[in-house]
């Protein structure tokens, strides 16, 4: 009976917190502050940075974070949430979601993984980059800033960047520059240039 009561209390606390925490974080979050800091620390490295862009925490991300406190059932909930978020990018997306955190695998087709996110997957040592990323979120930084500073954005398949397209157009010569002017007769034969007056007088002499 004691164990069943404990599980019931934990489940009720998790449900109440899942209803209340979004409102609490929304009330305290403008740009930076405690909300994005704890979101990056406890939920995922990109969650707090994207909160500064106006994006809200998803329901699957709440289930993943709260699932770790629920024995047995929490592991199943977390696994389902991981597969739901990372499956759009296949096996690599699921592994990125599982080992690094939410939104990393989900955004894998459009955004590369940061160096600090790779290090955060290492046990114990990974706590250091987690705190660094959380402090960036607390100071109001965003993932868009990280995209520009670390060149994280991926180009869509089949679309060339402006730099590469301009380079290819500058390397290809135009047909008009290479072609030499020539005049043709009505019968399609090329006419030779007419002799100059000086050449005709020399032939007469």
pLDDT of residue 116: 93
pLDDT for the residue numbered 118: 94
pLDDT at site 74: 66
In terms of Cβ atoms closer than 10 Å to its own Cβ (0-12, 13-18, 19+), residue 135 is: middle
Q: How many CA atoms lie within 13 A of 52 on its CB side?
A: 26
| pLDDT tens digits, 71-113 | 666 677 778 878 887 778 888 888 988 889 889 988 999 999 9
Which residues lie closer than 8 Å to 163 by C-beta, 6 or more apart? none
- Can you give the pLDDT at residue 166? 52
Give the per-residue pLDDT at 7. 52
* Long-range contacts of residues 195-203, Cβ cutoff 8 Å, at least 24 apart: none
- Per-residue tens of pLDDT for the chain, all 205 residues: 455 555 555 555 444 444 445 554 454 445 889 999 999 988 889 999 999 999 988 888 887 777 666 766 667 777 887 888 777 888 888 898 888 988 998 899 999 999 999 999 998 899 999 999 999 999 999 999 999 999 999 876 655 545 445 555 555 454 444 544 444 445 545 455 555 555 444 444 4
What is the predicted pLDDT for the residue at 77? 73
pLDDT of residue 2: 59
Query: What pLDDT does residue 68 have?
Result: 63
pLDDT at site 9: 55
How many angstroms separate the first and last alpha carbons of the chain? 131
pTM: predicted TM-score of the whole model, two decimal places: 0.60
Residue 6: what pLDDT? 55
What tokens were used for 49?
A: 């940075």
Helical segments of the chain, H only: 2-28, 34-42, 47-51, 59-67, 73-86, 90-99, 115-120, 127-138, 143-150, 162-171, 175-178, 197-204
Please report the pLDDT score of residue 64 as a whole number.
Answer: 78
Q: At a CB cut-off of 8 Å and minimum separation 6, what does 117 contact?
A: 45, 46, 100, 101, 104, 129, 133
Helices 2-28 and 34-42 pack at an angle, to 10 degrees, of 140
CA 59 from centre of chain: 21
The answer to whether the CB of 117 falls within 8 A of the CB of 45 is yes
pLDDT for residue 65: 76
DSSP 159: -
pLDDT at 201: 47
């Amino acid at each position: 009976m004691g164990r069943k009561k404990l599980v019931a209390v934990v489940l009720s606390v998790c449900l109440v917190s899942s209803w209340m925490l979004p409102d609490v974080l929304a009330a305290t979050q403008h740009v930076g502050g405690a909300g994005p800091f704890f979101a990056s620390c406890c939920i995922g490295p990109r969650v707090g940075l994207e909160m500064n862009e106006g994006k809200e925490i998803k329901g699957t991300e709440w289930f993943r974070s709260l699932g770790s406190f629920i024995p047995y059932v929490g592991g199943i909930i977390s696994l389902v949430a991981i597969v739901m978020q990372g499956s759009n990018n296949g096996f690599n997306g699921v592994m990125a979601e599982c080992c690094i955190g939410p939104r990393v695998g989900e955004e894998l087709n459009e955004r590369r993984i940061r160096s600090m996110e790779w290090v955060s997957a290492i046990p114990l040592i990974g706590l250091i980059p987690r705190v660094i990323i959380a402090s960036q979120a607390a100071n109001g930084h965003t993932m868009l800033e990280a995209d520009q500073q670390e060149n994280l954005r991926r180009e869509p398949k089949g679309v060339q960047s402006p730099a590469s397209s301009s380079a290819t157009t500058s390397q290809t010569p135009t047909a008009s520059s290479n072609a030499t002017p020539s005049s043709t007769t009505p019968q399609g034969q090329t006419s030779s240039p007419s002799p100059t007056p000086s050449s005709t007088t020399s032939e007469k002499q």
